[in-house]
A = this chain, B = another copy of it.
Amino acid sequence: MKEKIDFMEIAISEAQKGLKIDEVPIGACIVKNGKVIAKGYNKREKSKNAIKHAEIIAIEKACKRLHDWRLNDCEMYVTLKPCPMCAGAIVNARIKVCHYGADETNAQDNLCEKIFSSTRLNHKTELIKEEKYSQECADMLTTFFKQKRF
C-alpha cells in the first residue's frame, strides 16, 4: 500500500494540470484500499460551470467507477482545504477522511469543519491537514494569483 504522501503528490500533479490550462491550480484524488480510483483538477473557467471544482470532478468519477453514490471507505486528498460546496459533497458522498494541503486564506469561519461534523447526516468526515505539503500547495496558488495580478 502506498504512503499517503504519494497521494498528496498525485493531488499536486493534478493541480499542475490545472495551471497549464490557466485554471486556479487545485487538484484532488480519491483513494480506496490504497489505490487511486479517481483524480480531478479545477476546471471552472474552461467548463464555464460553477460546480466543476477539483473535488467534485473526482467525486463524480469515483461514483461512476464504483457504480454507487456512496464512496464508503474512500479518502480524499486535495491541495486546498475544501470550500463549503466541496465539503458538503464530500460528506454527502460519505467519504471517510479528507486530507488537505493549504488552508483557505479567506475562510475565517471554519465552515469546512462545521460541515464535516454536522448533525444533519449520520456520516462524519475526518479532516486532516498534511503539514508537509501545505507550503507547496499554498505557493502554487500564490504564484498563480500574483501572475494574474488579482
* A interface residue numbers (CB < 8 A to B): 44-45, 47-53, 56, 59-60, 63-64, 67-71, 83-89, 91-94, 104, 106-109, 111, 114-115, 118-121
In the complex with contacts A106-B120, A111-B115, A120-B106, A59-B67 CB distance below 8 A: no
CA distance A56 to B68 in the complex (A): 18
This chain: copies in complex: 2
Whether the pair A85, B88 counts as a contact (CB closer than 8 A) is yes
Closest chain-B Cβ to A77's Cβ sits at a distance in Å of: 18
Closest chain-B Cβ to A88's Cβ sits at a distance in Å of: 3
In the complex with contacts A50-B59, A63-B50, A69-B50, A88-B92 CB distance below 8 A: no
5 residue pairs from A and B, CB less than 8 Å apart: A49-B60, A85-B86, A108-B120, A109-B120, A111-B111
Whether the pair B89, A71 counts as a contact (CB closer than 8 A) is no
CA distance A36 to B29 in the complex (A): 36
Closest chain-B Cβ to A121's Cβ sits at a distance in Å of: 8
Of residues A49, A71, A85, which shows the largest number of chain B Cβ atoms within 10 Å of its Cβ?
A85
